[in-house]
Amino acid sequence: MFVVSLNYVAELTEVDRCIDAHVAYLDKCYSLGKFVLSGRKVPRTGGVILMDCDSREEVDVIIEEDPFFKAKVAEYAVTEFIPTLSAAGLEQFTAAIAVDAVPLS
């Protein structure tokens, strides 16, 4: 699982020019089962996407398809994590591993 934090590096007017294409990109990624959650930051300085991907390389390929990336209006910070607990209804995203089997360092 990956948390992708987008930070806008352009004026919002430039970002807004890409919004329709970005929403179509989000819809595509949701339909492929790669995105779990997404939304704007408050204040509106970027966004956050929770991605269900098998590797960092897959994440990078998906990010490169984002119209925000192509237009150079956002920078991306990626954090990988292993979800071991979840709210009811989200159990499919938790790893089937024992918590004590994962080294803490």
Provide the CB-side half-sphere exposure for 37 (13 A, CA): 10
Structure confidence by residue, pLDDT tens digits, 63-97: 999 999 999 999 999 999 988 887 888 788 876 55
How high is the pLDDT of residue 98? 47
Sorted by where each begins, the domain ranges of the chain are: 2-101
pTM of the model: 0.85
Q: What region does 16 belong to: left with phi over 0, alpha with psi -120 to 50, or beta?
A: alpha
Lowest mean pLDDT segment, chosen from 9-13, 92-96, 99-103: 99-103
Phi, psi angles (nearest 5°) of residue 53: -125, 160
Does the N-terminal peptide bond of residue 83 adopt cis geometry, omega within 30 degrees of 0? Answer: no
| Mean pLDDT, rounded, of the chain | 91
> What class does CATH assign to 2-101?
alpha beta
Write out the two tokens for 64.
Answer: 């490169």
How high is the pLDDT of residue 64? 98
